Structure 1
Amino acid sequence: MTDSTIVDLRRELRKAREALADTETHLARHAEMNAALHCSDRVMYSPLHAKVTAAMHGIDHALERTTPDPSAPTLDHQSSDGPWAALVADLDRCEHGRHRGDSCGDCGSESHGNPHLTPGQVIGYGLHGDRIVMPDRESKHEISAWRRTSSEARRRA
């Protein structure tokens, strides 16, 4: 499994954990409301509440086991560049929010990615004329994959 795949999976796990946390809170409030409604001194939580809590612990465990190496440069929400790096790393998403190659029900079976930016397309230029290009999916978390020198660009052409 590549580092970029792990970064994508961690992002999806964080989103799932957030949804489960909200679900857990909702279920707890519902159980507490029922106890108050029936003037019970004991709250009876549903089996679904226990399953949601267990799923959250599983996600936490998976996130701990896949913590990236802090010395490795990455482009994600956890990097020192924060939201700017996340913005760049998300440039290959389709209009439904899925990365190129991920399953997307709205695109059909597989996301076609951003129709405006294809891998290898020049999206800008650096201070010394280096081309900034859209890298392929496997390389998008490598900072060096985003830049090509003028001589490198001529060789690829």
Structure 2
Amino acid sequence: MFTPSQHDVRRFFCETFRKVHSGEILTPLEAIARDWILQHEEYADALGDTEAALAADYSVERGQSNPFLHLSMHLSIAEQISIDQPPGIRSAFLSLAQRLGSEHDAHHEMMECLGEMIWNSQRSGLPPDGATYIECVKRR
């Protein structure tokens, strides 16, 4: 299993941002990241300076949202939808996106459910509960 470090993730998004703005060829994963980066122009400053990105502290106490976590969640959800894992997530997403009239807004709603599932798993020491995650998405 691939487990990138915090710095790996930040470098990936910063490098993708750089490649997008210099017109370089992207890998398939970078192309997916590009789509989300372009929808979050507010993150341009954070993505434009790799050294600052590596040093940045996005702790809850500082009250800033973490652009790298946010973009990572978009990537995770996009992957879940593309492979329908957990089974049923694609259908739940499509229904939510239709109700909201926006795939982007649906992703943001799903982030709440994904975060809750991960938090519960970490707290309980049990594997993530995909069925509960899907039910949460359906309730949004």
TM-score, scaled relative to structure 2: 0.24
Q: Identify the structure with the greater helix proportion.
A: 2
Q: Identify the structure with the greater strand proportion.
A: 1
